[in-house]
Chain A
Amino acid sequence: MTDLTLGRVTADRDRLLALLQEYGVYLGVVVLLLVNTVFTPHFLSTENFRTQAVQVAPVLIVALGMALAIGSEGVDLAVGSVMALSTSLLSLYLGYGPGIAVLIALVGGAVVGLANGSLIAFVGVQPIVATLALMVAGRGLALVLLPQLKDVHDPAMAELGSGDALGVPYVVLIAAALAVLVGFVVRRTTFGRSLLAIGDSRPAARLAGLPVRRVLILVYVCSGVLAAVAGVLATARLTASDPSSLGNLMELSAITAVVVGGTPLSGGRIRIGGTVAGAVLIQLLTTTLIKHDLPPSWTQIAQAVVIVLAVYAARERGKR
């Protein structure tokens, strides 16, 4: 009898916890929106939403790639460096026209991803370590290619960075399109399904004949390309290439968005909707603190706390 009631209480608590893990990020976004609507002056203006959306776009794009990596039971620490590398390449090859320059920047991201993926899939290096090496080398390479900040004067790039269609900035449109695309890939393609299976149980995936190595390499290539896209967009928005600071701590923001969004670090599950909400949540949190004149240091501390809380909550799920 006692056993039964006890069981029910824990079951209820578990269900509540599960619900919170599942939808907590959306709840957080709603709460922050409400709080800001009430307490922050001029929060409900189109201009403000536009700014917020533009600011969150690069983080979101990187986070999409990170979600893939984390879903495969890995992580990609090189994303920030890939952003830097892409901005360097972009500046360097802008002379050949923006189209080619962007292409080369994206190829650069793909190559870093390929290197990461090969180290992980063929050599069997742990993802943290492999991507750490490329994180160091990537930023160095970016700085070697472009030692200091350089202005980017190109009308096409400027249009990409600050133009809009129907009042929605291109940057935001691209981020949204990529989110939909990645969501579709995860849900509906063999690649997405294989990726989840590999993240959940690699031996089982291997014995089921899935192309584990190919999928893993593709994951990191995707992550690299997405980070490069983010780098290009950020460059276009700033109209400058700054390889020494662009993408700094980006890996952290991206991981935070993914983890806060409810994707477990243990792999096997990817929540794209949650990742979008996670990125938005962090952005809103930052804005809230800034708009209320709290110094950036507070934002950093708050972000640190949010990460730990999110991982802590996800841990409960792991323990079933």
Chain B
Amino acid sequence: MLSVTGLSKTFPGVKALSSVDFTARAGEVHALIGENGAGKSTLIKVLTGVYQPDEGEVTYDGAPVRFATPLQAQHAGISTIYQEVNLVPLMSVARNLFLGREPRGRLGLIDFRSMHRGAEEALRDLGLSVDVRRPLRELGVGAQQMVALARAVSVDARVVIMDEPTSSLEPREVRTLFGVIRMLRERGIAVIYVSHRLDELYEICDAVTVLRDGKVVHTGRIAELERLRLVALMLGREIADVRQEGLTKFAGGHDTEAEPVLEAQDLTVRHHLHGVSVSVRPGEVVGLGGLLGSGRTETAKAIAGALPTDSGRVVVAGVPVRTGSTPAAIRAGISLLPEDRKAEGIVPGLSVRENIALAALPGLSRFGLVDEARIDRIVETFMERLRIKAASPQQKVGELSGGNQQKVLLARWLAMQPKVLLLDEPTRGIDVGAKAEVQKLIDELAGDGLGVLLISSDPEELIEGSDRVIVLKDGAVVEELTGDAVTEDRLMRAIAGASTATATTAAATVTAAAGEDTGPGGLDD
């Protein structure tokens, strides 16, 4: 139905796709998987006309095509559901559903009555009953996703591309979605399905293509591919490694006897956190586990004052900290390495030097004048200690690799001599070598007596890096793993909770989620 051969696409400095062959057949659900930066999103964007290929050919329905715009692709019958809901929140549900193909009556004017009726019907088919006249943003995220789905399938689509459609859906909604996908398959529509949740892939997909570093490393029937082998292909590891050795570079246990340096009690943020308590002792690495949306990031942000809390208190080394104020938290010695490094961490246009000195700036100045000599000393110290690879301290941070950016951020916070480090996905989206280095650094820092709160979607990193793991689910603590209980198996079971998923499939899901997209601004976008 839709296929590409020898497809290449290069962005400045990166070869996003190189000689990719890919074929989606009618009546088949084709899984497209790969880690962050593997080229999935780029491939999808080429298929849908957002990007133009540098080399190679796209064949649709047996004839070579070249879609200049998403509109052309859409008219040709290729519909896409993106990872983030890509609808217009201020417009009504019906208008969103029918944008660009509104039913028109006399004089070419939109016939709202039949549009609303059509919208209601289309949504009812998906098990959703809402007032289609209301603005889309009044709906929950899951429901919005279903509207996007309804939009995609109600066009006379012959190919439907789904980019992580389940990332914000509830299990019930996932079942509905799968129902729809099966229906699409029966109608002879080709479905391209991108997801990190392996159990979903095995349940719904027929074929699979694995991308890594812009190349196809495997393609075939999914039933013939062992689950562990799939993970190994994605990660580019030998199965034996995955099975035995583990992938992280953490050394192991720390002293966990001292009084807590950080105590957060009953943190509550409406819709996000429901009374989360966390404590960290000096020299201890506490892992914060849970799935995406379980409240991990929110917990860290609430502690760091970046998210206003409704109730709860934060105490650092015995001193209460005013919540909801970043400067207050920083003064108290709390430092947060945010999840979205590119948007919330680095200041891309400023130099390595300025970025490192940013938070410490008020302390490094007299009468509002910057003490350049002291900054130089600090920058030099940390660039050496953290082994930051930059052409010079004057190089713009935006030009550095992900790993080095992360180290610059670490340096920024270490220059503040913090008591507590909150690390939200510190190794996401950085290459393997840098990853190991960052993990080693975390270990060293804890060894120096810092309290570390580590958030990671990678269970392996979490288990091997942490002395203790607190597991969150739906904004509340569901379990705390200590001592010998700090194992992947226990973590999976805690995360899976009462749900039907077995520990192993959950493990696979979470491992895969570690490679998840870094969001807007990511290379893969």
Direct interface between A and B, CB < 8 A:
yes
Chain A contact residues, CB within 8 Å of chain B:
3, 188-191, 193-194, 196-197, 200-201, 203-211, 268-269, 320
Which residue of chain B is the closest to A319 with respect to CB atoms?
A: B12
B142 in contact (CB, < 8 A): no
Seen from chain B, the residues whose Cβ lies within 8 Å of a Cβ on chain A are 10, 12, 304, 306, 326-327, 329-331, 336, 338, 343-350, 354, 357-359, 361-362, 365, 368-370, 372, 412
B343, B365, B368: the one within 8 Å of A203 (CB): B343
Whole-angstrom distance from the CB of A10 to the nearest CB of chain B? 9
The distance in angstroms between the C-alpha atoms of A190 and B367, with both chains bound, is 9
In contact, B344 and A268 (Cβ under 8 angstroms): no
Smallest CB gap from B343: residue in A: A203
**What are 27 A-to-B residue pairs whose CB atoms are below 8 Å?**
A189-B365, A189-B368, A190-B361, A190-B370, A191-B368, A193-B354, A193-B357, A193-B361, A193-B370, A196-B350, A197-B354, A200-B349, A201-B349, A205-B347, A206-B306, A207-B326, A207-B344, A208-B330, A208-B358, A208-B412, A209-B329, A209-B359, A210-B358, A210-B359, A210-B361, A211-B327, A268-B350
Q: Determine whether the beta carbon of B349 is less than 8 Å from that of A269.
A: yes
Residues of B within 8 A of A208 (CB): 330, 358-359, 412
With both beta carbons as reference points, the residue of chain B lying nearest to A268 in the complex is identified as B349
Q: Which of A189, A190, A201, A269 contacts B346 (CB 8 A)?
A: A201
Residue among A193, A207, A211 with the highest chain B CB neighbour number at 10 A: A207
**Contact (Cβ within 8 A) A204 B346:** yes
Q: Which residues of B contact A200 (CB under 8 A)?
A: 347-350
* Contact indicator B370/A201 (Cβ below 8 Å): no
In whole angstroms, what is the CA distance A178 to B10 when docked?
A: 47
For the complex of A and B, list the 8 residue pairs with the smallest distance between their C-beta atoms, beginning with the closest.
Answer: A209-B330, A268-B349, A203-B344, A208-B359, A200-B349, A209-B327, A200-B347, A201-B347
Query: Taking the nearest CB of chain A, how far is it from the CB of B478, in angstroms?
Result: 28
Contacts of B412 in A (CB 8 A): 208
Q: Establish whether residues B347 and A268, one from each chain, have CB atoms under 8 Å apart when the complex forms.
A: yes
Question: B111 → chain A, closest Cβ, in Å?
Answer: 36
Q: Are A190 and B368 in contact (CB under 8 A)?
A: yes
CB <8 Å contact, B369 and A189: yes
Chain A residues contacting B329 (CB-CB under 8 Å) are: 209
Nearest A residue (CB) for B361: A190
Q: In the complex, what residues of B have CB within 8 A of residue A210's CB?
A: 358-359, 361
State A197–B370 Cα separation when bound (angstroms).
15
Could you tell me if A204 and B370 are in contact, using CB atoms closer than 8 angstroms?
A: no
Contact A204 B343 (CB under 8 A): yes
Cross-interface CB contact of B347 among A190, A197, A209, cutoff 8 Å? A197
**Minimal beta-carbon separation of B343 from chain A (angstroms):** 6
With both beta carbons as reference points, the residue of chain A lying nearest to B359 in the complex is identified as: A208
Are A207 and B349 in contact, with the CB atoms below 8 A? no
Min C-beta distance of A184 to chain B, whole Å = 9
CB distance from A90 to the nearest CB of B (A): 30
Extra A-B contacts (11), CB below 8 Å, given A188-B370, A191-B368, A196-B350: A189-B368, A190-B365, A190-B368, A196-B349, A200-B348, A203-B343, A204-B347, A207-B336, A209-B327, A209-B329, A210-B358
Q: What's the minimum C-beta distance from A265 to chain B, rounded to whole angstroms?
A: 13
Q: How far apart sit A257 and B348, CA to CA, in the bound complex (Å)?
A: 25
Kindly list chain A residues whose C-beta atoms are within 8 Å of the C-beta of B10: 3
| Cβ contacts under 8 Å, A204 to chain B | 343-347
Shortest beta-carbon distance from A263 to chain B in Å: 12
With a cutoff of 8 Å between Cβ atoms, the chain A residues found around residue B350 in the complex are 196-197, 200, 268
Q: Is the CB of B327 within 8 A of A320?
A: no
For B330, the closest partner residue in chain A by CB is A209
- Chain A nearest Cβ from B368, distance in angstroms: 5
CB neighbours of A205 from chain B (8 A)? 347, 358
Whether A207 contacts B361 in the complex (CB less than 8 A), given A188-B370, A200-B348, A201-B348, comes out as no
Verify B369–A206 contact, CB threshold 8 A.
no
CB of A260 to closest CB in B, whole Å? 20
| A188 CA / B366 CA spacing, docked (Å) | 11
Nearest chain-B residue to A191 (Cβ)?
B368
User: How many angstroms from the CA of A268 to the CA of B354 in the assembled complex?
Assistant: 12
